[in-house]
Structure 1
């Protein structure tokens, strides 16, 4: 078992993220905190445990982790003979906005981890920094904690195989299909068949993965292609460019273009060609 408790200076507390405690290969004891604690990431290595928080009970086993928010009452304990975990305790001015706004995390709970090795390597890196000599440990740890938080966004989910990376990989055939067929009519039914899910589930997964609706994404691809045609073919009419990029109606094409680019296709062409002279 390894554990390092850094000396936290006033300058450390001004960092966006700072380390409070870190441990690895820890045989987790029974913890009860009725008033909560700081932010914690506790990742299961071996065995099983239970987490009680916010009126819910979660079973935590290998391939899973707990993310506990600051000030949230909780209790956790082993339910197997031993429960081995790696963990960090952290805080900082940017932790809450990152978790709530960027990660969309509103409550403490259990998460499935798609790539446990990536997150565990960050915990080991924090231990290595604390064991090293130097005056920049606080800044170095801040950087690693931010990296670990971005990994949590990419490689974890509340359901198995629903992490951002997994969903993005699942949608890759669809991204390729849209890129190759943007000029043709694209239906939700065909796109769902390519992805191997129902149309309704495709809409849900696509929005979760890209943060935009599927047809918004298609329009963005079409407008990107139209910008290329506008500049490559200065004499080509707008209605022809609209048709070549999958828009049946030139007026609708102009409306979508202006919504995305804040100027009309003609204005865009004139401005860019003037800049290039």
Structure 2
């Protein structure tokens, strides 16, 4: 049975960072042609059959186990190739929709393979059921479910999973080197040599794998080492700890520590006293 629910949204609902506008299921998806696109983000999962999506001058095959993401106001059309082409769909808006999709490497309309279709179908079913509820708090509850779904998408799709893993694997020699020698003076050139790449490409790999610059990663390892030193050798002074963790200046160590940990090294050290 076909299902569609439109959400009754208050002004406060529309101020949520993500909120549901509609949700449902089509057991026999009819052809859709939107020359001006659709006003909201849409996420559709294919339950059976196969279809084709035309968007951004590309044609994508979409079959069971895959999902379609449509960005607002982007012209598109889609239709069945092998019937029955059965879909679940959600439409959503809010300031965090784009950034949360971008975390999964999804920055434009397209088709993406789901790593765990059963879980995503269960998540969709919960959202669709919530959208059809007459409860006065239904829209807020749907927003919670939708937010959780969007947070899971990086782990649920292959849009970014494989490339991120490849970048991580490529950086393993560098990561091991930093772990072992973070207390020593390190440079971008030296780190790049460990992976056999140029310094510029090393920066790109770190950005794609960790969303950090290489020296930011080094500083995080140094802060971890400093915390271990504070716990294991409480007699050491902050300036001594800074030097042993690889920081040339204690003042810079204190700045980095507070930025990453939220408290000063002194407060952290005192909190570890037994």
TM-score bucket (shorter structure): 0.7 to 0.9
Aligned length: 260
Look up the match of 1:219.
219
Range 89-98 or range 56-65, more displaced:
89-98
Confirm or deny: 8 A CA contact 1:21 1:89 kept in the other structure.
Answer: yes
**CA, structure 1 residues 139+55, in 2 after alignment: closer, same or farther (shift >3 Å)?**
same
Confirm or deny: 8 A CA contact 2:26 2:88 kept in the other structure.
Answer: yes
Q: Distance in 2 between matches of 1:261 and 1:153?
A: 29
Look up the match of 1:181.
180
Matched position secondary structure for 1:226:
helix
Look up the match of 2:18.
17
Asked if 1:257 corresponds to 2:253, the answer is yes
Deviation, structure 1 residue 212: 0.8
Output aligned runs, 1:235-254, within 5 Å: 235=236, 238=239, 242-243=243-244, 245=245, 247=246, 251=248, 254=250
TM norm structure 1: 0.72
Output aligned runs, 1:132-171, within 5 Å: 132-158=133-159, 161-162=162-163
Q: Distance in 1 between matches of 2:45 and 2:266?
A: 56
5+ residue gaps, structure 1: 193-197
Output aligned runs, 1:1-277, within 5 Å: 1-11=1-11, 12-24=13-25, 26-37=27-38, 38-96=40-98, 98-99=100-101, 105-158=106-159, 161-162=162-163, 177=176, 181=180, 188=191, 204-230=204-230, 232-235=233-236, 238=239, 242-243=243-244, 245=245, 247=246, 251=248, 254=250, 257-258=253-254, 260-261=256-257
5+ residue gaps, structure 2: none
Range 85-94 or range 6-15, more displaced:
6-15
Deviation, structure 1 residue 48: 2.2
Q: Distance in 2 between matches of 1:176 and 1:17?
A: 36
Matched position secondary structure for 1:58:
strand
**CA, structure 1 residues 110+174, in 2 after alignment: closer, same or farther (shift >3 Å)?**
farther
Matched position secondary structure for 1:27:
coil
Confirm or deny: 8 A CA contact 1:167 1:205 kept in the other structure.
Answer: no
**CA, structure 1 residues 179+15, in 2 after alignment: closer, same or farther (shift >3 Å)?**
same
Deviations 1:219-238 (A, max 9, x none): 31122211442463334684
**CA, structure 1 residues 190+235, in 2 after alignment: closer, same or farther (shift >3 Å)?**
same
Q: Distance in 2 between matches of 1:236 and 1:25?
A: 67
Q: Distance in 2 between matches of 1:117 and 1:178?
A: 40
Confirm or deny: 8 A CA contact 1:112 1:160 kept in the other structure.
Answer: no
Q: Distance in 1 between matches of 2:78 and 2:100?
A: 25
Deviation, structure 1 residue 216: 2.6
Q: Distance in 1 between matches of 2:204 and 2:61?
A: 27
Confirm or deny: 8 A CA contact 1:229 1:241 kept in the other structure.
Answer: no
Matched position secondary structure for 2:149:
helix
Deviation, structure 1 residue 152: 1.7
**CA, structure 1 residues 269+159, in 2 after alignment: closer, same or farther (shift >3 Å)?**
closer
CA RMSD of aligned residues (A): 4.0
Q: Distance in 1 between matches of 2:208 and 2:151?
A: 16
Confirm or deny: 8 A CA contact 1:230 1:241 kept in the other structure.
Answer: no
